[in-house]
Amino acid sequence: MNLKKDVCVIGGGVMGLATAYYLLKAGKSVAILEKAEIGGGASSSCDDMILLQSKKPGIALTLAMESLEIYRGLSDELGSDLGFYSHGGMIIIEDEKQLKIMEDFVKKQVSYGLDVEIVDRNTLFKKQPHVARYMIASTYSKSDSQVNPLMLMRAFLHNGLNMGLDVLRNTIVQEIKQQGDHWNVSGQNGIHVECDNVVIAAGAWSGQVGELFDIEIPITPIKGQLAVTEQIAPIGETNCWTAAYIASKHDPSILGDRSSYDKEIGLGFSFTRAGEGNYLIGSTREHVGFEKATDFKAISKILEQARKYFPIMNQVNIIRTMAGFRPGTKDGSPIIGAVDGFPGLYIAAGHEGDGVALSPITGKSVAEMICGVGNHKRFEELNLRRFAVALAKG
Amino acid sequence: MCDELICRCEEVSREEIEAAITDGAVTMNEVKRFTRAGMGLCQGRTCRRLVERILSEKTNTPLSEIQTSSYRQPVRPVRSDLIQEYNNLEEEQ
Protein backbone atom coordinates (compact mmCIF):
# COMPACT_ATOMS: atom_id res chain seq x y z
CA MET A 1 0.00 0.00 0.00
CA ASN A 2 1.30 3.45 -0.91
CA LEU A 3 0.17 6.59 0.86
CA LYS A 4 0.95 10.23 0.33
CA LYS A 5 0.72 12.35 3.44
CA ASP A 6 2.04 15.62 4.75
CA VAL A 7 3.32 13.94 7.89
CA CYS A 8 4.13 10.41 8.95
CA VAL A 9 4.09 9.84 12.72
CA ILE A 10 5.96 6.78 13.96
CA GLY A 11 4.31 5.46 17.11
CA GLY A 12 0.67 5.09 18.11
CA GLY A 13 0.93 5.87 21.79
CA VAL A 14 -0.25 8.92 23.60
CA MET A 15 2.57 11.06 22.17
CA GLY A 16 2.05 10.03 18.54
CA LEU A 17 -1.73 10.39 18.80
CA ALA A 18 -1.48 13.86 20.37
CA THR A 19 0.98 15.02 17.71
CA ALA A 20 -1.20 13.60 14.93
CA TYR A 21 -4.27 15.28 16.38
CA TYR A 22 -2.70 18.75 16.48
CA LEU A 23 -1.27 18.31 12.98
CA LEU A 24 -4.66 17.29 11.59
CA LYS A 25 -6.26 20.21 13.35
CA ALA A 26 -3.80 22.50 11.58
CA GLY A 27 -4.90 21.03 8.26
CA LYS A 28 -2.10 18.53 7.64
CA SER A 29 -2.76 15.02 6.38
CA VAL A 30 -1.27 12.40 8.69
CA ALA A 31 -0.57 8.68 8.88
CA ILE A 32 0.47 6.92 12.08
CA LEU A 33 2.66 3.86 11.67
CA GLU A 34 2.37 1.70 14.77
CA LYS A 35 4.42 -1.46 15.28
CA ALA A 36 1.64 -3.26 17.15
CA GLU A 37 -1.55 -1.63 18.38
CA ILE A 38 -2.74 1.66 19.86
CA GLY A 39 -1.18 2.26 23.25
CA GLY A 40 0.80 -0.96 23.18
CA GLY A 41 3.85 0.53 24.89
CA ALA A 42 4.09 2.73 27.95
CA SER A 43 0.82 4.59 27.34
CA SER A 44 -1.36 1.74 28.62
CA SER A 45 0.93 0.53 31.36
CA CYS A 46 1.31 3.65 33.40
CA ASP A 47 -0.52 5.67 35.96
CA ASP A 48 -2.60 8.74 35.33
CA MET A 49 -0.73 11.59 36.96
CA ILE A 50 -0.21 15.10 35.79
CA LEU A 51 2.22 15.78 38.57
CA LEU A 52 3.70 19.26 38.70
CA GLN A 53 5.43 18.96 42.04
CA SER A 54 7.98 16.42 40.91
CA LYS A 55 9.20 18.62 38.07
CA LYS A 56 12.53 20.32 38.25
CA PRO A 57 12.06 24.08 38.26
CA GLY A 58 12.87 25.07 34.68
CA ILE A 59 11.63 23.89 31.31
CA ALA A 60 10.20 20.66 32.81
CA LEU A 61 7.96 22.54 35.20
CA THR A 62 7.04 25.21 32.64
CA LEU A 63 5.93 22.61 30.10
CA ALA A 64 3.97 20.66 32.70
CA MET A 65 2.13 23.83 33.71
CA GLU A 66 1.35 24.66 30.08
CA SER A 67 0.17 21.10 29.46
CA LEU A 68 -2.12 21.28 32.47
CA GLU A 69 -3.67 24.44 31.05
CA ILE A 70 -4.38 22.61 27.79
CA TYR A 71 -5.86 19.70 29.72
CA ARG A 72 -8.35 21.98 31.42
CA GLY A 73 -10.06 22.63 28.08
CA LEU A 74 -9.29 19.37 26.33
CA SER A 75 -12.39 17.39 27.32
CA ASP A 76 -14.59 20.03 25.71
CA GLU A 77 -12.35 20.32 22.67
CA LEU A 78 -12.31 16.56 22.05
CA GLY A 79 -15.92 16.07 23.07
CA SER A 80 -15.08 13.25 25.47
CA ASP A 81 -14.72 12.63 29.15
CA LEU A 82 -10.98 12.19 29.72
CA GLY A 83 -11.12 11.25 33.38
CA PHE A 84 -9.45 14.57 34.13
CA TYR A 85 -9.49 15.63 37.78
CA SER A 86 -7.61 18.20 39.81
CA HIS A 87 -7.67 16.71 43.29
CA GLY A 88 -4.24 18.05 44.14
CA GLY A 89 -1.20 16.14 45.26
CA MET A 90 0.95 15.66 48.33
CA ILE A 91 4.52 14.57 48.78
CA ILE A 92 4.70 13.07 52.23
CA ILE A 93 7.79 13.72 54.31
CA GLU A 94 9.26 11.21 56.74
CA ASP A 95 12.08 13.05 58.49
CA GLU A 96 13.88 16.36 58.99
CA LYS A 97 16.47 15.66 56.32
CA GLN A 98 13.80 15.20 53.66
CA LEU A 99 11.95 18.23 54.97
CA LYS A 100 15.00 20.43 54.49
CA ILE A 101 15.40 19.34 50.86
CA MET A 102 11.70 19.67 50.12
CA GLU A 103 11.63 23.19 51.60
CA ASP A 104 14.31 24.31 49.16
CA PHE A 105 12.62 22.49 46.30
CA VAL A 106 9.24 24.04 47.05
CA LYS A 107 10.76 27.51 47.28
CA LYS A 108 12.23 27.15 43.77
CA GLN A 109 8.98 25.81 42.37
CA VAL A 110 7.05 28.72 43.84
CA SER A 111 9.44 31.10 42.07
CA TYR A 112 8.37 29.43 38.80
CA GLY A 113 4.74 30.12 39.56
CA LEU A 114 3.60 26.79 40.98
CA ASP A 115 1.16 27.02 43.87
CA VAL A 116 2.78 24.59 46.25
CA GLU A 117 3.41 24.78 49.97
CA ILE A 118 4.68 22.77 52.91
CA VAL A 119 1.91 21.80 55.31
CA ASP A 120 2.29 20.58 58.90
CA ARG A 121 1.35 17.20 60.38
CA ASN A 122 -2.13 18.28 61.36
CA THR A 123 -3.00 19.43 57.88
CA LEU A 124 -1.43 16.27 56.46
CA PHE A 125 -3.50 14.02 58.74
CA LYS A 126 -6.63 15.96 57.92
CA LYS A 127 -6.13 15.52 54.18
CA GLN A 128 -4.71 11.99 54.53
CA PRO A 129 -6.40 10.43 57.55
CA HIS A 130 -4.87 7.03 56.79
CA VAL A 131 -1.26 8.04 56.32
CA ALA A 132 1.28 6.50 58.73
CA ARG A 133 1.47 8.52 61.95
CA TYR A 134 5.24 8.90 61.90
CA MET A 135 5.13 11.30 58.96
CA ILE A 136 6.25 14.77 59.98
CA ALA A 137 4.93 17.01 57.20
CA SER A 138 3.96 17.11 53.57
CA THR A 139 3.93 19.31 50.54
CA TYR A 140 0.60 20.19 49.03
CA SER A 141 -0.30 21.59 45.63
CA LYS A 142 -3.84 21.90 44.46
CA SER A 143 -2.62 21.96 40.85
CA ASP A 144 -1.58 18.30 40.69
CA SER A 145 -4.08 16.56 38.47
CA GLN A 146 -4.75 13.32 36.72
CA VAL A 147 -6.07 12.17 33.37
CA ASN A 148 -6.99 8.69 32.16
CA PRO A 149 -4.47 7.88 29.39
CA LEU A 150 -6.77 5.25 27.90
CA MET A 151 -9.67 7.68 27.53
CA LEU A 152 -7.23 10.28 26.24
CA MET A 153 -5.92 7.96 23.51
CA ARG A 154 -9.44 7.01 22.50
CA ALA A 155 -10.43 10.67 22.19
CA PHE A 156 -7.33 11.63 20.17
CA LEU A 157 -7.82 8.60 17.91
CA HIS A 158 -11.52 9.18 17.38
CA ASN A 159 -11.05 12.89 16.62
CA GLY A 160 -8.09 12.08 14.40
CA LEU A 161 -9.99 9.51 12.36
CA ASN A 162 -12.78 12.04 11.87
CA MET A 163 -10.20 14.38 10.32
CA GLY A 164 -8.88 11.73 7.95
CA LEU A 165 -6.11 10.17 10.04
CA ASP A 166 -4.78 6.84 8.76
CA VAL A 167 -3.58 4.41 11.42
CA LEU A 168 -1.48 1.53 10.15
CA ARG A 169 -1.07 -1.08 12.85
CA ASN A 170 1.35 -3.99 12.94
CA THR A 171 3.66 -1.86 10.87
CA ILE A 172 7.28 -2.00 11.92
CA VAL A 173 9.20 0.77 10.19
CA GLN A 174 12.15 -0.72 8.35
CA GLU A 175 13.34 2.09 6.17
CA ILE A 176 13.25 5.87 6.32
CA LYS A 177 14.75 7.41 3.23
CA GLN A 178 15.19 10.99 2.18
CA GLN A 179 14.29 11.54 -1.48
CA GLY A 180 14.71 15.06 -2.73
CA ASP A 181 12.65 17.23 -0.44
CA HIS A 182 10.50 14.48 0.95
CA TRP A 183 10.72 11.25 2.91
CA ASN A 184 9.79 7.67 2.17
CA VAL A 185 8.88 5.57 5.17
CA SER A 186 8.42 1.85 4.65
CA GLY A 187 7.11 -0.88 6.90
CA GLN A 188 7.90 -4.60 6.89
CA ASN A 189 4.39 -5.26 5.55
CA GLY A 190 4.72 -3.43 2.26
CA ILE A 191 3.30 -0.14 3.50
CA HIS A 192 5.02 2.94 2.06
CA VAL A 193 4.30 6.49 3.09
CA GLU A 194 5.63 9.39 1.06
CA CYS A 195 5.63 12.50 3.22
CA ASP A 196 7.19 15.91 3.85
CA ASN A 197 7.76 15.34 7.54
CA VAL A 198 8.43 12.46 9.86
CA VAL A 199 7.83 12.55 13.61
CA ILE A 200 9.47 9.90 15.74
CA ALA A 201 7.15 9.35 18.68
CA ALA A 202 8.07 5.75 19.32
CA GLY A 203 8.67 6.05 23.05
CA ALA A 204 11.20 3.55 24.35
CA TRP A 205 11.62 2.21 20.81
CA SER A 206 12.71 5.57 19.37
CA GLY A 207 16.39 4.61 19.51
CA GLN A 208 15.68 1.68 17.20
CA VAL A 209 13.96 4.01 14.74
CA GLY A 210 16.97 6.32 14.83
CA GLU A 211 19.26 3.44 13.85
CA LEU A 212 17.43 3.26 10.51
CA PHE A 213 19.18 6.43 9.42
CA ASP A 214 22.27 6.21 11.57
CA ILE A 215 21.23 8.72 14.15
CA GLU A 216 21.87 7.99 17.78
CA ILE A 217 18.71 8.78 19.76
CA PRO A 218 19.84 8.04 23.30
CA ILE A 219 16.56 6.72 24.67
CA THR A 220 16.53 3.48 26.64
CA PRO A 221 13.63 1.47 28.04
CA ILE A 222 13.12 1.90 31.77
CA LYS A 223 10.76 -0.73 33.05
CA GLY A 224 8.20 0.45 35.56
CA GLN A 225 6.01 -2.03 37.41
CA LEU A 226 2.69 -1.14 38.98
CA ALA A 227 0.06 -2.92 41.04
CA VAL A 228 -3.65 -2.22 40.52
CA THR A 229 -6.09 -2.61 43.42
CA GLU A 230 -9.76 -3.36 43.38
CA GLN A 231 -12.05 -0.33 43.35
CA ILE A 232 -12.37 1.26 46.76
CA ALA A 233 -13.56 4.54 48.25
CA PRO A 234 -10.95 7.32 48.45
CA ILE A 235 -8.72 6.95 51.51
CA GLY A 236 -7.45 10.52 51.27
CA GLU A 237 -8.14 13.83 49.56
CA THR A 238 -5.24 13.77 47.10
CA ASN A 239 -2.82 11.45 45.35
CA CYS A 240 0.51 10.96 47.10
CA TRP A 241 4.19 10.44 46.62
CA THR A 242 7.01 10.26 49.09
CA ALA A 243 9.74 12.79 49.50
CA ALA A 244 12.35 10.03 49.66
CA TYR A 245 12.09 9.41 45.95
CA ILE A 246 12.05 13.04 44.88
CA ALA A 247 14.67 14.13 47.40
CA SER A 248 16.96 11.30 46.31
CA LYS A 249 17.19 12.82 42.85
CA HIS A 250 18.86 15.81 44.49
CA ASP A 251 20.75 14.06 47.26
CA PRO A 252 21.18 10.30 46.74
CA SER A 253 22.46 9.89 50.32
CA ILE A 254 18.83 10.25 51.44
CA LEU A 255 18.31 6.65 50.43
CA GLY A 256 21.49 5.44 52.12
CA ASP A 257 20.01 2.56 54.05
CA ARG A 258 18.19 0.92 51.17
CA SER A 259 18.81 -2.69 50.28
CA SER A 260 20.80 -3.47 47.17
CA TYR A 261 17.68 -5.03 45.69
CA ASP A 262 15.68 -1.83 46.15
CA LYS A 263 18.46 0.11 44.45
CA GLU A 264 18.68 -2.41 41.64
CA ILE A 265 14.99 -2.09 40.80
CA GLY A 266 14.97 1.68 41.44
CA LEU A 267 12.13 1.39 43.90
CA GLY A 268 10.06 4.55 44.24
CA PHE A 269 6.58 5.24 45.50
CA SER A 270 3.54 6.66 43.78
CA PHE A 271 -0.01 6.28 44.90
CA THR A 272 -2.92 7.43 42.83
CA ARG A 273 -6.61 6.67 42.71
CA ALA A 274 -7.93 6.38 39.17
CA GLY A 275 -11.36 7.80 38.37
CA GLU A 276 -13.06 4.42 38.70
CA GLY A 277 -11.65 3.84 42.18
CA ASN A 278 -8.74 1.52 41.47
CA TYR A 279 -5.54 2.57 43.20
CA LEU A 280 -2.47 2.44 40.99
CA ILE A 281 0.57 1.77 43.14
CA GLY A 282 4.07 2.08 41.81
CA SER A 283 6.76 1.88 40.91
CA THR A 284 10.15 0.68 39.77
CA ARG A 285 12.83 2.04 37.42
CA GLU A 286 14.57 -1.01 36.01
CA HIS A 287 17.20 -1.20 33.31
CA VAL A 288 16.42 -4.65 31.93
CA GLY A 289 15.91 -4.05 28.22
CA PHE A 290 12.52 -4.99 26.82
CA GLU A 291 11.70 -7.73 29.34
CA LYS A 292 8.06 -7.09 30.10
CA ALA A 293 6.98 -9.63 32.73
CA THR A 294 5.93 -8.35 36.15
CA ASP A 295 7.66 -10.10 39.01
CA PHE A 296 6.37 -11.13 42.35
CA LYS A 297 9.27 -9.80 44.38
CA ALA A 298 9.19 -6.30 42.92
CA ILE A 299 5.41 -6.10 43.26
CA SER A 300 5.68 -7.31 46.82
CA LYS A 301 8.21 -4.51 47.52
CA ILE A 302 5.90 -1.92 45.99
CA LEU A 303 3.04 -3.13 48.16
CA GLU A 304 5.23 -3.25 51.24
CA GLN A 305 5.80 0.47 50.82
CA ALA A 306 2.12 1.20 50.24
CA ARG A 307 1.29 -0.60 53.47
CA LYS A 308 4.07 1.12 55.37
CA TYR A 309 2.88 4.56 54.32
CA PHE A 310 -0.84 3.69 54.36
CA PRO A 311 -1.40 0.76 56.77
CA ILE A 312 -5.05 0.53 55.73
CA MET A 313 -3.88 -0.87 52.39
CA ASN A 314 -3.17 -4.18 54.17
CA GLN A 315 -6.62 -5.42 53.41
CA VAL A 316 -7.06 -4.27 49.86
CA ASN A 317 -7.09 -6.77 46.99
CA ILE A 318 -4.67 -6.56 44.10
CA ILE A 319 -6.38 -7.46 40.84
CA ARG A 320 -3.62 -6.86 38.32
CA THR A 321 -0.01 -5.96 37.89
CA MET A 322 1.55 -4.34 34.87
CA ALA A 323 4.86 -3.19 33.49
CA GLY A 324 5.60 -0.52 30.92
CA PHE A 325 8.75 0.75 29.26
CA ARG A 326 9.27 4.41 30.06
CA PRO A 327 11.40 6.07 27.42
CA GLY A 328 14.36 7.34 29.43
CA THR A 329 17.11 9.73 28.41
CA LYS A 330 20.50 10.22 30.06
CA ASP A 331 19.62 13.62 31.50
CA GLY A 332 16.01 12.84 32.40
CA SER A 333 14.54 15.37 29.96
CA PRO A 334 12.57 14.54 26.83
CA ILE A 335 13.86 15.01 23.29
CA ILE A 336 11.60 17.40 21.43
CA GLY A 337 12.26 19.16 18.13
CA ALA A 338 13.87 18.99 14.70
CA VAL A 339 16.87 16.78 13.95
CA ASP A 340 19.88 18.69 12.59
CA GLY A 341 20.90 17.65 9.10
CA PHE A 342 17.61 15.90 8.35
CA PRO A 343 15.17 18.57 7.21
CA GLY A 344 11.59 17.57 7.99
CA LEU A 345 12.49 15.06 10.65
CA TYR A 346 11.32 15.59 14.25
CA ILE A 347 11.50 13.75 17.55
CA ALA A 348 8.83 13.77 20.27
CA ALA A 349 9.99 11.13 22.71
CA GLY A 350 11.98 10.38 25.85
CA HIS A 351 9.51 11.71 28.40
CA GLU A 352 10.08 8.76 30.76
CA GLY A 353 7.28 8.93 33.34
CA ASP A 354 5.87 12.23 32.10
CA GLY A 355 4.54 11.21 28.70
CA VAL A 356 0.89 11.35 29.63
CA ALA A 357 1.31 14.67 31.44
CA LEU A 358 3.30 16.28 28.64
CA SER A 359 1.61 14.81 25.57
CA PRO A 360 -0.69 17.79 24.80
CA ILE A 361 2.04 20.43 25.02
CA THR A 362 4.53 18.23 23.15
CA GLY A 363 2.10 17.28 20.39
CA LYS A 364 0.89 20.84 19.99
CA SER A 365 4.39 22.31 19.92
CA VAL A 366 5.78 19.78 17.45
CA ALA A 367 2.76 20.34 15.20
CA GLU A 368 3.44 24.09 15.34
CA MET A 369 7.13 23.58 14.55
CA ILE A 370 6.16 21.54 11.48
CA CYS A 371 3.64 24.16 10.39
CA GLY A 372 6.17 26.94 10.98
CA VAL A 373 3.93 28.66 13.50
CA GLY A 374 4.91 30.26 16.79
CA ASN A 375 8.16 30.67 18.63
CA HIS A 376 9.68 27.55 20.10
CA LYS A 377 12.96 28.85 21.37
CA ARG A 378 12.36 27.34 24.76
CA PHE A 379 12.58 23.87 23.20
CA GLU A 380 16.21 24.47 22.18
CA GLU A 381 17.45 22.89 25.38
CA LEU A 382 15.40 19.78 24.66
CA ASN A 383 16.80 19.28 21.17
CA LEU A 384 18.61 16.06 20.32
CA ARG A 385 21.77 18.07 19.58
CA ARG A 386 22.43 18.56 23.31
CA PHE A 387 23.73 15.01 23.43
CA ALA A 388 26.05 15.56 20.48
CA VAL A 389 27.40 18.65 22.23
CA ALA A 390 27.85 16.66 25.43
CA LEU A 391 29.70 14.03 23.45
CA ALA A 392 31.97 16.56 21.76
CA LYS A 393 32.86 18.12 25.09
CA GLY A 394 33.72 14.61 26.24
CA MET B 1 -32.79 0.69 24.62
CA CYS B 2 -32.16 -2.72 26.16
CA ASP B 3 -28.52 -2.72 27.23
CA GLU B 4 -26.95 -6.14 27.09
CA LEU B 5 -24.31 -6.23 29.84
CA ILE B 6 -21.13 -7.83 28.53
CA CYS B 7 -18.55 -7.07 31.22
CA ARG B 8 -20.26 -7.53 34.56
CA CYS B 9 -17.37 -6.37 36.72
CA GLU B 10 -17.06 -2.99 35.03
CA GLU B 11 -20.66 -2.86 33.83
CA VAL B 12 -19.88 -2.39 30.17
CA SER B 13 -22.73 -2.90 27.73
CA ARG B 14 -22.69 -4.25 24.20
CA GLU B 15 -23.58 -0.78 23.02
CA GLU B 16 -20.49 0.71 24.67
CA ILE B 17 -18.25 -1.93 23.16
CA GLU B 18 -19.70 -1.27 19.73
CA ALA B 19 -19.19 2.46 20.24
CA ALA B 20 -15.51 1.90 21.03
CA ILE B 21 -15.13 -0.08 17.81
CA THR B 22 -16.83 2.76 15.93
CA ASP B 23 -14.37 5.15 17.60
CA GLY B 24 -11.48 3.22 16.09
CA ALA B 25 -10.67 0.19 18.26
CA VAL B 26 -9.76 -2.84 16.14
CA THR B 27 -8.04 -5.18 18.62
CA MET B 28 -9.10 -6.80 21.87
CA ASN B 29 -6.59 -4.78 23.87
CA GLU B 30 -7.87 -1.56 22.31
CA VAL B 31 -11.49 -2.44 23.12
CA LYS B 32 -10.42 -3.23 26.66
CA ARG B 33 -8.49 0.02 27.05
CA PHE B 34 -11.26 2.13 25.57
CA THR B 35 -14.21 0.56 27.44
CA ARG B 36 -12.70 -1.10 30.57
CA ALA B 37 -14.39 -4.38 29.58
CA GLY B 38 -12.10 -6.99 31.14
CA MET B 39 -10.37 -4.60 33.53
CA GLY B 40 -12.41 -5.46 36.61
CA LEU B 41 -12.23 -8.01 39.39
CA CYS B 42 -12.32 -11.04 37.10
CA GLN B 43 -9.93 -9.49 34.57
CA GLY B 44 -11.96 -10.59 31.58
CA ARG B 45 -12.49 -14.22 32.49
CA THR B 46 -16.23 -13.87 32.03
CA CYS B 47 -16.47 -11.42 29.16
CA ARG B 48 -13.35 -11.97 27.09
CA ARG B 49 -14.96 -14.47 24.73
CA LEU B 50 -18.09 -12.36 24.41
CA VAL B 51 -16.10 -9.27 23.52
CA GLU B 52 -14.07 -11.28 21.03
CA ARG B 53 -17.29 -12.32 19.35
CA ILE B 54 -18.58 -8.75 19.12
CA LEU B 55 -15.24 -7.55 17.74
CA SER B 56 -15.25 -10.36 15.19
CA GLU B 57 -18.78 -9.45 14.05
CA LYS B 58 -18.19 -5.72 13.91
CA THR B 59 -14.86 -5.89 12.10
CA ASN B 60 -15.76 -8.81 9.81
CA THR B 61 -12.80 -10.77 11.10
CA PRO B 62 -13.03 -14.53 11.67
CA LEU B 63 -13.14 -15.28 15.40
CA SER B 64 -10.07 -17.48 15.02
CA GLU B 65 -8.06 -14.46 13.93
CA ILE B 66 -9.00 -12.28 16.88
CA GLN B 67 -6.03 -12.12 19.23
CA THR B 68 -6.98 -12.43 22.85
CA SER B 69 -6.24 -9.51 25.19
CA SER B 70 -3.17 -9.61 27.39
CA TYR B 71 -3.37 -10.70 31.00
CA ARG B 72 -0.99 -10.57 33.93
CA GLN B 73 -0.62 -11.89 37.45
CA PRO B 74 -2.29 -12.28 39.87
CA VAL B 75 -4.60 -15.01 38.61
CA ARG B 76 -7.30 -13.88 41.01
CA PRO B 77 -7.60 -10.94 43.41
CA VAL B 78 -5.09 -11.37 46.24
CA ARG B 79 -4.94 -9.38 49.42
CA SER B 80 -1.98 -7.06 49.53
CA ASP B 81 -0.58 -8.36 52.84
CA LEU B 82 -0.75 -11.96 51.62
CA ILE B 83 1.37 -11.14 48.59
CA GLN B 84 4.15 -10.11 50.91
CA GLU B 85 3.69 -13.16 53.12
CA TYR B 86 4.04 -15.43 50.10
CA ASN B 87 7.08 -13.53 48.99
CA ASN B 88 8.69 -13.90 52.42
CA LEU B 89 8.00 -17.64 52.35
CA GLU B 90 9.56 -17.89 48.93
CA GLU B 91 12.66 -16.04 50.10
CA GLU B 92 13.07 -18.31 53.11
CA GLN B 93 13.08 -21.39 50.91
Say whether both A316 and A337 belong to one domain. no
Whether residue A130 is contained in a domain is answered as yes
Say whether both A117 and A156 belong to one domain. no
Alpha-carbon span A121 to A128, nearest angstrom? 10
Say whether both A354 and A313 belong to one domain. no
Domain boundary among A329, A346, A366: A329
Put simply, the answer to whether A314 touches B80 (Cβ < 8 Å) is: yes
pLDDT band at A104 (very low <50, low <70, confident <90, very high): very high
- A270 prior amide bond cis, ω within 30: no
pLDDT digits (tens, 9 = 90+) for B25-73: 999 999 999 999 999 999 999 999 999 999 999 999 999 999 999 888 9
Domain boundary among A299, A329, A359: A329
Say whether both A132 and A170 belong to one domain. no
- Nearest residue of chain A to residue B23 (CA atoms): A158
Say whether both A28 and A106 belong to one domain. no
Mean pLDDT of A338-356: 96
Q: What is the pLDDT of residue A249?
A: 66
Least Cα separation, residue A329 to chain B (angstroms)? 27
Put simply, the answer to whether B30 touches A297 (Cβ < 8 Å) is: no
Whether residue A61 is contained in a domain is answered as no
Instruction: From residue A1, give the alpha-carbon distance in Å to each of A4, A19, A187, A391.
Output: 10, 23, 10, 40
Q: What is the pLDDT of residue A244?
A: 81
Whether residue A103 is contained in a domain is answered as yes
Nearest to B23 among A154, A296, A307 (CB): A154
DSSP-derived 3-state class of residue A143: coil
Nearest to A157 among B10, B23, B91 (CB): B23
Say whether both A155 and A34 belong to one domain. yes
Domains of chain B: 5-92 (1.10.10.1100)
Q: What is the pLDDT of residue A392?
A: 63
Whether residue A350 is contained in a domain is answered as yes
CATH code at position A339: 3.50.50.60
Interface of A with B (CB under 8 A): 37-40, 44, 150-151, 153-154, 157-158, 161, 167, 169, 227, 229-231, 276, 294, 296-297, 299-300, 303-304, 306-307, 313-322
Average pLDDT of the residues of chain A:
94
pLDDT digits (tens, 9 = 90+) for A248-265: 666 777 776 788 899 899
Say whether both A302 and A360 belong to one domain. no
**Domain count of chain A?**
2
pLDDT digits (tens, 9 = 90+) for A119-141: 999 999 999 999 999 999 999 99
Q: Which residues of chain B neighbour A307 with C-beta distances below 8 Å?
A: 80-81, 84
Least Cα separation, residue A233 to chain B (angstroms)? 15
Domain boundary among A309, A329, A349: A329
Q: Which residues of chain B neighbour A153 with C-beta distances below 8 Å?
A: 33-34
- Nearest residue of chain A to residue B79 (CA atoms): A317
Whether residue A272 is contained in a domain is answered as yes
pLDDT digits (tens, 9 = 90+) for A10-32: 999 999 999 999 999 999 999 99
Beta-carbon pairs below 8 A across chains A and B: 100
Q: What is the pLDDT of residue A318?
A: 97
Q: Under the phi-then-psi rule, with left for phi > 0, alpha for psi from -120 to 50, and beta for the rest, what region is A11? A: left
Q: What is the pLDDT of residue A246?
A: 74
DSSP per-residue string spanning chain B: --PPEEETTTTEEHHHHHHHHHTT--SHHHHHHHH-TT-STTTTTTTHHHHHHHHHHHHT--GGGPPPPP--S-SS-EEHHHHHHHHHHHHH-
Q: What is the pLDDT of residue A391?
A: 62
Q: Are A337 and A379 in contact (CB under 8 A)?
A: yes
- Whether A237 has a pLDDT exceeding 90, the answer reads yes
Put simply, the answer to whether A161 touches B24 (Cβ < 8 Å) is: yes
Least Cα separation, residue B67 to chain A (angstroms)? 11
Put simply, the answer to whether A154 touches B27 (Cβ < 8 Å) is: no
Alpha-carbon span A335 to A55, nearest angstrom? 16
Whether residue A51 is contained in a domain is answered as no
Whether residue A84 is contained in a domain is answered as no
Average pLDDT of the residues of chain B:
93
pLDDT digits (tens, 9 = 90+) for A157-184: 999 999 999 999 999 999 999 999 999 9
Say whether both A252 and A312 belong to one domain. yes
For chain A, give the percent of residues with pLDDT over 70: 97
Least Cα separation, residue B2 to chain A (angstroms)? 23
Give the range of the structural domain holding residue A195, as residue numbers without chain letter. 2-45+150-218+331-393
Q: Which runs of consecutive H residues, i.e. helices, occur in A7-120?
A: 14-25, 59-78, 96-111
Say whether both A299 and A197 belong to one domain. no
Mean pLDDT of A277-301: 94
Q: Is the pTM of this model over 0.80?
A: yes
- Whether A394 has a pLDDT exceeding 60, the answer reads no
Are β-strands A2-10 and A270-273 bridged in parallel, bridged antiparallel, or unpaired?
Answer: unpaired
Nearest to B84 among A39, A158, A304 (CB): A304
Instruction: From residue B12, give the alpha-carbon distance in Å to each of A320, B6, B17, B59.
Output: 19, 6, 7, 19
Least Cα separation, residue B3 to chain A (angstroms)? 21
Nearest to A303 among B23, B24, B80 (CB): B80
Q: What is the pLDDT of residue B86?
A: 87
Say whether both A182 and A158 belong to one domain. yes
pLDDT band at A204 (very low <50, low <70, confident <90, very high): very high
Say whether both A208 and A224 belong to one domain. no
Q: What is the pLDDT of residue A27?
A: 98
CATH code at position A305: 3.30.9.10
Say whether both A124 and A225 belong to one domain. yes
pLDDT band at B92 (very low <50, low <70, confident <90, very high): confident
